[in-house]
Amino acid sequence: MELPDRYRPIVDDFEAFRAACQRPLPSVVRVNTIKASVADARAALDEADIAAEPVDWHDRVLVLPDAPPGNNWPYFHGWIHGQEEVSAVPATVLDPRPGERVWDACAAPGSKTTQVAAMMDDRGEVVASDNNLGRISALRSNTERLGATNVAVTHEDARNHSLKPFDGATYDCALVDVPCSCEGTIRKNPDAFDDWSLSHVKGISGVQKGILARAVQATDPGGTVVYSTCTFAPEENEAVLDHVLGEEDCELVDYDLPLTHRDGITEWQDDEFDPSVAKAKRIYPHHNDTGGFFCAKLEVTG
Amino acid sequence: MSNDSTKFTRLPATDAERDDEGRATRAEVLDFWDDRFGVPPETFADHAFWERGAGKIWLSRADPPSPVDVEGLGMTFLRTRQEHWKPTLEAVQRFGEHATENVIHLSEGEAEAFVAGHGQDLDWDGDWGYLVVTHDLAGAPEPVGVGLYVYGELRSQVPKGRRRDLDG
């Protein structure tokens, strides 16, 4: 695994970073409050002799130190859902409210979609899009198992998202958790770097720019768009934000994140980015014992 | 030519608004849950019912124009256009807590066998047909899914993809 050397200039305590990337991740679940309270889910896990520990930054996320989350009663009932701890960040930053219309641009397999639905108390409307039918079937089965009824699933490339099925209605906010090179999932997928290439990183950043631009266009002025990836590559993170800031009516806004993180970087190799990309947040595996993640909050100004 | 089986169409409110004879109405769906399981109609006050494909009813709080060409809309809810209407596991897990009739409560071992997909010989004094199956979870009865009770046997209707061996 050669690649993390690429990030030596931007990651503090690089040896700790590299060591963390080689440790497996603990199992983590999110309690699905559409179907159960946190207290009920913990009681059901306890009945099944499954140890569960809360995390301090999110009251619906539990670490299961000894068990994979899949084969137990609370999972079967849709009371819990396996979801990596940092994957719970973007919906939390989006902070959708009951009754709103929300677009989840790259929704499958649906962990964040169902988290958004639960935060909305299963009210309003979540339009969840994906461009892959196989992944849409996983999205649909997760939505159903978790009992979310406010989700409409569409099959399309998010860059060309159509408002037509909903008579042109735009969104109060949008979650843009784009396909990426997944470097930050190395602890879950030890082969995450096997197919890594700079040309893939650069190619996928073009897709990411198109999806984020479409989300800004489809969201009402004053609305929020959250952009996230599970990768460290600045080409897929700050460079995408920098591009869309120049093309669309939006600006980056600061937000609180009660997890140890670093600011977005404003320089990478030969590139300089808009200084406001520092408001984005980088989450590294060695700081919170999680996967790696990147998350930015934008406000639509247009 | 459009293929309507790929689109979701909102159920008509009542018989008077129905133009497809085979299509259930919202009133009939509410009556079914009320008559069969004692689930009050107001339970679904905020939801709309949709049909995609003959007799496949979905329930949704998202509220697009009808018909709408999307891949999914809320959850699958009920099968109609057959002699006995059949609720889905998802519908029963989500709304079965309101059921007061045709509810069969299983012991832990019986519930595990049910989720594994096994039929079981069980005593049942009520109507034959589709039942809401419950077991105790976190100290209270919780609906697990749909069972079909006939000839002294409770047949698991848990779809193959949802079956689990939970006793290990």
Q: What is the mean pLDDT of residues B37-47?
A: 98
Computed over every residue of chain B, the mean pLDDT equals: 94
Q: In terms of CA atoms, which chain B residue is nearest residue A130?
A: B71
More confidently predicted of A100 and A302: A100
Kindly state whether A126 is in contact with chain B, defined as any CB-CB distance less than 8 angstroms: yes
Enter the pTM of the model.
Answer: 0.96
Upstream peptide bond of A96 is cis (omega within 30 degrees of 0): no
Q: How far, in Å, CA of B74 to CA of B47, rounded?
A: 9
What pLDDT shows up at residue B3?
A: 41
What pLDDT shows up at residue A193?
A: 83
Q: How confident is the model at residue B4 (pLDDT cuts 50, 70, 90)?
A: low
- Statement: residue A195 has pLDDT above 90: no
Computed over every residue of chain A, the mean pLDDT equals: 95
Tokens for A156?
């399309």
Quick count: other Cβ atoms within 10 Å of Cβ B150? Answer: 11
A76 vs B60, B70, B164: nearest CB: B164
Q: Do B71 and A127 touch (CB under 8 A)?
A: no
Q: What is the DSSP letter of B8?
A: B
Kindly state whether A139 is in contact with chain B, defined as any CB-CB distance less than 8 angstroms: yes
Q: How far, in Å, CA of A205 to CA of A212, rounded?
A: 10
What pLDDT shows up at residue B77?
A: 98
Tokens for B70?
């999307």
- ipTM of the assembly? 0.95
CB contacts < 8 A (A, B)? 99
Q: What is the mean pLDDT of residues B83-97?
A: 97
Residue from B114, B164, B105 nearest B137 by CA: B105
Tokens for A212?
């984020």
Residue from A63, A56, A50, A62 nearest A24 by CA: A63
What pLDDT shows up at residue B168?
A: 52
**A57-80: per-residue pLDDT in tens?**
999 999 999 877 678 999 999 999
A182: annotated active-site residue: no
- Statement: residue B167 has pLDDT above 70: no
Q: Do B137 and A44 touch (CB under 8 A)?
A: yes
Q: Are B134 and B37 in contact (CB under 8 A)?
A: no
Please report how many Cα atoms fall inside a 13 Å half-sphere around the Cα of residue B49, on the Cβ side.
Answer: 24
What pLDDT shows up at residue A186?
A: 87
Edge-to-edge strand order for the sheet containing B120-121? Answer: B103-105, B129-137, B140-150, B153-156, B120-121
End-to-end CA distance of chain B: give it in Å, rounded.
52
What pLDDT shows up at residue A223?
A: 98
B166 vs A76, A154, A155: nearest CB: A76
